Amino acid sequence: MNRAVTILLAIPLALPLLAQPAATNTQRDQRLAWWRDARFGMFIHWGLYAIPAGEWKGQPVPGLGEWIMNHAQIPVAEYEQLAKQFNPVKFNADEFVAVAKNAGMKYIVITSKHHDGFAMFGSKVSPYNIVDATPFHRDPLKELSAACQRAGLRLCFYYSQTQDWHEPDGVGNTWDFPDASKQNFQKYYDEKVLPQVRELLTNYGPIGLIWFDTPRNITLEQSRQLADLVHKLQPDCLVSGRVGHNLGDYDSAGDNQISVGKVKRDWETPVTLNDTWGFKKDDHNWKSTTVLIRQMGQVASRGGNYLLNVGPTAEGVIPQPSVERLAEVGKWMKTNGESIYGTTASPFPYEEPWGVITAKPGKLYLHVFQWPGKEFVVYGIESKVKQARLLTGGAPLALRQQHHADSGLDELRIATPADAPDASDSVIVLEMDGGVRVTTMLLQQPDHKVTLPAYLSEVHHTAANAQLRFDSRGVVERWLDTGEWLSWDFQLSEPARYDVVAITSGQKYGKDWEGGHRVTVNIAGNDVRGLIGDDGKLDNPSNPYWPYVVSKLGTVEITKAGKQHVTLVPQQIVAAKKFGLTLVSIQLVPKGS
């Protein structure tokens, strides 16, 4: 086989590889200190779109609530009228802040201007703002600024810098302003964006960060000007990853996408509580508290921040289902917060089958989602564990550590209560003698399965077809060509007969999935030829919008323990829809289990 021309290490897309931000690392580290410690924040999408709440002229408008002007192609002259009705008299800044604080959130990011162009603050730059254009006449951002300072939370602002459907020179409104040749984006940028960002950083006290969004066609120069303006006015204020051209102080994962693997830069993921950001009266698809707590742990275990959204109503009230779930997350945080705040990513490059790991110097926090019963087993911890205990309290747990000289495997066994101390996430903290050392090679896990995640593979291709890459969830995209293939090394401890299974991912909301590919998996000298077909769905609780598909490829007999090399070579890829082979992982499952 003459294929191995280039070898790349799989790196999730979230990593910017080229542009270097202007700030030095020390400056950025200082700016990021509070944010790295915080790990959990509240996103608030609030604006005129809360009035129609997903319905226009008696018709439900599908899609995101804050996109209603765009989706229903509402003319500016009509949409503007909403301002005259906007009177959120029930808004109470202290209550918003209390909901966030009680949930354990450390910062609040509120929409100061979304794509609809309406400023939720008193702006001298444009009369299209909440103080001048509504009967409310109050400035909620001023009130939130005072409330956040009273409560010790950081206030931050979302600002949509490129799209502005209200302005002829902003991007996105093709129904009122169809003639693109008449557009002068620079004028909009100079006369609205820069001066409004200046107002936000001048009139509201210290601001934690500005959350720019959808940079679209913004130039490098424009992104740089924005980032520089923020840092000039408030040197400690962070700039979000979506300012464009990798000039942010940290990276942003895609909306509702949870990155996997070792993410090198600081990152944050914005997540919806239901399926919209701005309030929609018919959206009742709330994520369960268990999903929220586990997602937060997953994000922290990969070194990121979890920014969880609420969409207040036109009256200024956070919907009750949101308040309830956040209170439950807060209850969990009161007992387990030390396993989230100020932690760093898991030292393992892969996910354990039972949950996730966060770390502090000399400590590992095992977030156990699948409670094992009376004995809990972890492989790959090399450093000596001094103590194991549950964050829910009680005496230290009995433990036994063993190094198997023959296989090199380090095994930790912990005696645990029969029932899970917490239904969502029971945290066991391990205290080490000295630093934390682990085996980073992929290991067969105590549940006897082997998982080979796509994002930990080596990618091989011939020069002509280097397209395959990883989205920020670590799932393969653009695998359309049989000239690209993957390989892994892993450590097997139990020789046996295994089912070889491929896990692939559907597109968002499970709308699309492309199957019918033929692949060969080579393990321990055996070829397993199989079809990537739909043999069943797999729940993907951490990312419910992207369901997984299971394909049974065949079986393989592995007769010897030790290091194994695996290749996955496609023979035929169906790429009519351009999704191709959306690999999540290859799994070896003991036959009959």
Does residue 507 belong to the site contacting ligand H79 (CB under 6 A)?
A: no
Which of 41, 52, 270, 347 binds ligand H79 (CB under 6 A)? It is 270
Q: How far apart are CA 312 and CA 277, in angstroms?
A: 9
CB of 278 to ligand H79, least distance (A): 7
Which of 8, 34, 63, 467 contacts ligand H79 by CB under 6 A? Answer: 63
Q: CB 368 → ligand H79: shortest distance, Å?
A: 31
Q: What are the Cα distances from residue 532, in Å, to 358, 481, 510, 572?
A: 34, 15, 17, 10
Report DSSP letters for 128-167, one per residue: -BHHHHSS----HHHHHHHHHHHHT-EEEEEEE-SB-TTS
> How far apart are CB 279 and ligand H79 at their closest, in Å?
13
Strand partners, 119: 113, 129
Q: Which is nearer to ligand H79, 203 or 214 (CB)?
A: 214
Q: How far is the CB of 66 from ligand H79 (least distance, A)?
A: 5
d(CA 543, CA 258): 7
Binding mask 225-264 for ligand H79 (x = CB under 6 A): ------------------------------x---------
Q: Which of residues 37-56 bind ligand H79 (CB under 6 A)?
A: 45
Closer residue to ligand H79, CB minimum distance, 44 or 385: 44
What residues numbered 98-137 form the site for ligand H79, per CB under 6 A?
none
Question: Are the C-beta atoms of 206 and 236 separated by less than 8 Å?
Answer: yes
Binding residues for ligand H79, rule CB under 6 A, total: 10
> Is there binding between residue 277 and ligand H79 (CB under 6 A)?
yes
Residue 161 CB, nearest approach to ligand H79 (Å):
12
3-state class of 33 per DSSP?
A: helix
Q: Tell me how far, at minimum, the Cβ of 264 lies from ligand H79, in Å.
A: 23
Burial bucket for residue 69 (CB in 10 Å: 0-12, 13-18, 19+):
buried
Q: Does 64 bind ligand H79 (CB under 6 A)?
A: yes
Cα(13)–Cα(19) distance, rounded to whole angstroms? 14
Q: Which is nearer to ligand H79, 171 or 226 (CB)?
A: 171
Please state the closest distance from residue 272 (CB atom) to ligand H79, in A: 8
**The two three-digit tokens of residue 156, written as one number:** 């931050």
Task: Dump the DSSP string for 383-414.
Answer: SPEEEEEETT--SPPPEEEEE-TTT--EEEEE
Does the protein bind ligand H79 through residue 213 (CB under 6 A)? yes
How many Å apart are CA 547 and CA 536, to the nearest integer?
11
CB nearer to ligand H79: pick between 214 and 487: 214
**Contact 218/171 with Cβ under 8 angstroms?**
no
CB of 574 vs ligand H79, minimal distance in Å: 25
The CB-of-207 to ligand H79 minimum distance in angstroms stands at 18
Residue with tokens 């169809």: 178
By CB under 6 A, name the one of 102, 183, 214, 520 that touches ligand H79: 214
Cβ of 571: how many Cβ atoms within 10 Å?
12
Contact stretch for ligand H79 (CB under 6 A) within 64-72, 279-287, 292-300, 367-375: 64-72
Of residues 433, 395, 398, the one with CA closest to residue 412:
398
* Alpha-carbon torsion angle 587, 591, 592, 593, nearest 10: -40
- Spatial contact of 449 and 501, defined as CB atoms under 8 Å apart: no
| Closest CB to ligand H79 among residues 65, 140 | 65
- Give the separation between CA 47 and CA 69, rounded to whole angstroms: 12
Nearer to ligand H79 among residue 43 and residue 371 (C-beta): 43
Stretch that binds ligand H79, among 61-69, 75-83, 195-203, 525-533 (CB under 6 A): 61-69
255 vs 534 by CB, closer to ligand H79? 255
Residue closer to ligand H79, measured from CB, 23 or 308: 308
Note whether 66 binds ligand H79 by CB under 6 A: yes
Q: To the nearest whole angstrom, how small is the minimum distance from the Cβ of residue 327 to ligand H79?
A: 24
**67 counts as binding ligand H79 under rule CB under 6 A:** yes
Exposed e or buried b per residue across 463-480, where buried means at least 16 C-beta atoms within 10 angstroms of its C-beta: eeebebebbbbbbbbbbb
Q: How many CB atoms lie within 10 A of CB 495?
A: 13
Shortest reach from residue 195's CB to ligand H79, in Å? 22
Binding region for ligand H79 (CB under 6 A): 45, 63-64, 66-67, 213-214, 255, 270, 277
